[in-house]
Amino acid sequence: MDLITRENPARVAEIVGSVPVTDPAAVDAAVRRADDAFRGWSGLPVAERVAALRRGADTVAARLEELAPLLARESGKPLADSRGEIGFAVAFLRWVCDEAPAVLAATEVDDDAGRLVVRRKPYGVVGCVTPWNAPVILAMLKLGPALAAGNTAVLKPSPLAPLTITEVAAALPAVQVIHGGAETGRALAGHPLVRKVAFTGGDAAGREIAATAGAMITPAVLELGGNDPAVFLPDFALSDADYERLVMASFATAGQVCMAAKRLYVPRARTAEFTEAYLAAAERVLVVGDPLDPEVTMGPVISAAAAARIRALVADAAGGTATPLGRSAPGHDPASGYFVTPHLVTGLDDHAPLVAQEQFGPAVPLLAYDTEEEVLVRADAGELGLAASVWSADEERAFALAERLGAGFVFVNTHNRTGMSLRAPFGGVKRSGYGREYGREGLLEYVQSAVVHVPAAFRPGGPGMAPGAYPGGLHDEPPRSAGAVRPPP
């Protein structure tokens, strides 16, 4: 049996664990098991489904102190962040359980125009393909809403972080887990019994998943990358704590976050002041070392290839000045794993690869600007539009600029996970994907509207309609009354 063996990116000689590769025949079997389970699972009342999901959330919560070190060891995410991610995934699942009964409820209108019932129907089997940088929460964003809505699911996590999420998924009902690389993902996304695909990952993989699903006319939710700008208006007023939060907005998970602050736009007249405060904040909060060290706030990147790519981006920053950030934990050996020194890079133009590309690692450029209109154009440059942030002492001014930015989610006076909300739908525009996660919209991604309707003309005693008549004509329907909207019995 072929195995995926996962090393510890902080201590590459240490093998954390392994999972079996799922071949195409086994992918087919997993999808068919999920399809067989669909009728029974979807036939349960939503109250019973969410009760089962709550039990799953409780099981994961009870194992948090066991699972967090496993996540830290396989992904390089610091231990405190690993606890935070698993705890947030539990909180999100419980939120889904609280919200699903109302969001998924059918509605009925019975008035002078007729009787209309709109129900929320699940798709069937949902194929979920998830990445390594936040493997638990990014899987839960798909599994929670999909399962609550009555779908069953087949989950393919990244081979770079398959261990913790496999344990978490085992606590949930109606989920099959498969393992593998691109071939396994294609087999899942293109399976004829998969009725919806949910994917988070990079642009290239997203295009392939979308093409594979599209060939089967299978709808998809795609959350792809971003080159997310943070724009500081001339009146910004940041405390020491604000600067510390800003540093971690770029360097949490070693910068390997789709919505990290990846470009810092600062008014030219305030760049010296900003840089000094930013470097001081990084010295206070950015501690590089082994993720199991409780003092560490930044671990390694995920792989040797990622480390080489990011170092090359910094080395190729011609004309710029790269300043190392933060400090190493006592006794830290950078050669033990895939560690990359974090850098702030100044003096680049907008065409430098570190600016124009999503770096997805611990290096961030600081860019000076002169006018608000100029920074708006520069911040919106490129094909990606996932997230952004605007910082200002005047909230109305920040909101005014935020509404003009070409991003699906704009934070104000914060950035990255500190600006998230369970109720706020998240997703990209342009080439950063389509569909939404979180919020009511995230739940509704996993249902289709199914309608039962009788026009008033065809109810008992109704006048009927002439053959070939169009609805809504001047004389085809009786006058409408306000009617009543209620859930159907």
> What six digits make up the tokens of 180?
């593998």
- Nearest partner of 31 among 219, 136, 181, 176, judged by Cα: 176
Amino acid at 429: V
- Kind and range of the H or E run holding 17: strand 11-20
Question: Left if phi > 0, otherwise alpha if psi is -120 to 50, otherwise beta: which for 459?
Answer: beta
Give residue for tokens 């910004």: 236
User: Reduced to 3 states, what is the DSSP secondary structure of residue 363?
Assistant: strand
The CA-CA-CA angle for residues 169, 175, 135, to 5°, reads 40
For residue 483, the tally of other CB atoms under 10 A from its CB is 15
Are 259 and 293 spatial neighbours (Cβ–Cβ below 8 Å)?
A: no
- Nearest partner of 137 among 66, 220, 81, judged by Cα: 81
Nearest-angstrom CA–CA distance, 395 and 402: 10
Nearest-angstrom CA–CA distance, 182 and 98: 35
128 annotated active-site: no
Give residue for tokens 């609550």: 148
Residues paired with residue 19 on neighbouring β-strands, in sequence order:
4
Are 53 and 96 spatial neighbours (Cβ–Cβ below 8 Å)?
A: yes
Q: First and final CA of the chain: distance in angstroms? A: 52
Give residue for tokens 């399809």: 35
State the Rg of the chain over Cα: 25
Nearest-angstrom CA–CA distance, 4 and 179: 8
Give residue for tokens 């600067």: 243
Catalytic residue among 74, 85, 99, 223: 223
Residue 363 exposed, middle or buried by CB count within 10 Å (0-12, 13-18, 19+): buried
Catalytic residue among 85, 97, 244, 258: 258
Report the greatest alpha carbon distance in the chain: 87
The CA-CA-CA angle for residues 308, 309, 315, to 5°, reads 85
441 annotated active-site: no
Sheet with 114-122, strands from edge to edge, namely 447-455, 114-122, 107-111, 484-486
> What six digits make up the tokens of 476?
């085809």
Hey, which residues are catalytic here? 223, 258
